[in-house]
Structure formats: C-alpha cells, structure tokens
Amino acid sequence: MAYWLMKSEPSEVSIDDLAALPDQTVGWYGVRNYQARNFMRDQMRPGDGVLFYHSSCAEPGVAGLAEVVGAPYPDPTQFETEGKYFDEKATAEVPRWYQVDVKLVKKTRLLTLLEIRAHPDLQEMRILAKGNRLSITPVSPAEWRSIQKLLKS
C-alpha cells in the first residue's frame, strides 16, 4: 500500500463535492503534468491512501482522506475537443493522460499548509519542497502516520 497527496482546487472538485457524488467517488481527471501522470499510471493501485488537499484557495490544506478504488485508465477529458483538458495529440489508441478513481474515506478538519509546515516530522514532505507544484506527490508511511495524528488532535 502506498500513500499520496492529491491536490484539487475547491472550485473544480472540493471535499464537499466528493461527499455529494454518487458512491462518493470521482475520477481524478485533468492532470497534465507528466510526473504526476506517471505516479497515477505506473504506481497508484486500489487501496492506496490519499490525502485530499485543497489548493489554489484562500486556505490550502488537507481537507479529507480518500483511497484509490480503481486501476489507472485513460482520462476521457483529453478527448473532449471543447473541454479545457483537451489534448490534440492524444488518441484512443495512444492516450497521453490517465486518471484513477478516488473514493472518500472521511472529511476531516482542514489541516492547513501552515500546520504541516510547522510540524517537525513533516519537513521532508514533497509539498513543502521549494518550487514543488506537482498536483500528486508520494507520502511516506511515517508522514501518513504523522498526518493522521495531527488530524485527531
């Protein structure tokens, strides 16, 4: 089992939006960074833990816990010619972009980026690395446990 931090802009899909969806499950669409895509396509597996992170908002942070519930598959938004995630170089035979389905485990209190930054056990988290803009980053088992403890406090 692996752990991931997955960023979503609340204006796109928030933790409350996820909670309101049928089966509380969403395809994690629209990722257009090769490294983040490779994490999804090559490493994510059903059962992996997810820190659902609100980004590009007034108060970014972990808003809930989720899990990967399906194998990676081609992101259909790459083929939507009028959509903002359309990729003219992608084909059904050779897709460029992938997604996984993510299911809500529970909404949590917002664990802010400032709280994460202040916690000594989390100083190596990739989200804190200077210049990191990836929407998906791995989380170590020790970081996962530290986040769990902070969410219970």
Residue 135 in domain: yes
- Could you give the number of structural domains in the chain? 1
Distance CA 109, CA 3 (A): 19
Residue 113 in domain: yes
Q: What percent of the chain has pLDDT over 70?
A: 99
Q: What is the pLDDT of residues 40-84, one digit of tens each?
A: 999 999 999 999 999 999 999 999 999 999 999 999 999 999 999
CATH number at residue 14: 3.10.590.10
User: Is 0.85 surpassed by the pTM of this model?
Assistant: yes
Q: What is the pLDDT of residues 124-141, one digit of tens each?
A: 999 999 988 899 999 999
Q: Assess whether pLDDT exceeds 90 at residue 153.
A: no
The bridge status of strand 3-8 relative to strand 49-54 is: parallel
- Its domain, for residue 130, covers 3-142
